[in-house]
């Protein structure tokens, strides 16, 4: 199994001068029907933040993580394997 690419997420409350950092993030998304953004780190911890009240910046490694997931989807399609969503 390929190693997942981890990345950093920097966030701060709107209007704040200070950024905080989430490290070792493997996955992120938005909880459908809400304004909650979630992050899952390499310790299987889930962090939830209200997207309406924060600013976000992602490290460059996030692009690599997205490309890796897309490659896996393409490989699964080519091999006829069902996609896990």
CA angle 55, 46, 57 (to 5 degrees): 20
Q: In this predicted model, what pLDDT tens digit does every residue of 16-57 receive, in sequence order?
A: 999 999 999 999 999 999 999 999 999 999 999 999 999 999
**DSSP type of residue 51:** G
Q: Are 25 and 40 in contact (CB under 8 A)?
A: yes
pLDDT > 90: what percent of the chain?
Answer: 56
Average pLDDT over residues 45-71: 90
Question: Between 2 and 51, whose confidence is greater?
Answer: 51
Q: Are 50 and 56 in contact (CB under 8 A)?
A: no
Distance in angstroms (rounded) separating the CA atoms of residues 9 and 78: 32
Q: What pLDDT band is residue 64 in, cutting at 50, 70 and 90?
A: confident
């Amino acid at each position: 199994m390929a190693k997942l690419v981890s990345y950093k997420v920097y966030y701060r409350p709107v209007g704040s001068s200070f950024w905080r950092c989430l490290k070792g993030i493997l996955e992120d998304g938005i909880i459908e029907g809400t304004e909650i953004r979630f992050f899952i780190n390499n310790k299987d911890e889930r962090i939830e933040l209200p997207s309406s009240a924060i600013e976000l910046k992602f490290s460059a490694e996030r692009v690599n993580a997205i490309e890796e997931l897309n490659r896996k989807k393409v490989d699964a399609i080519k091999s006829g394997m069902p996609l896990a969503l």
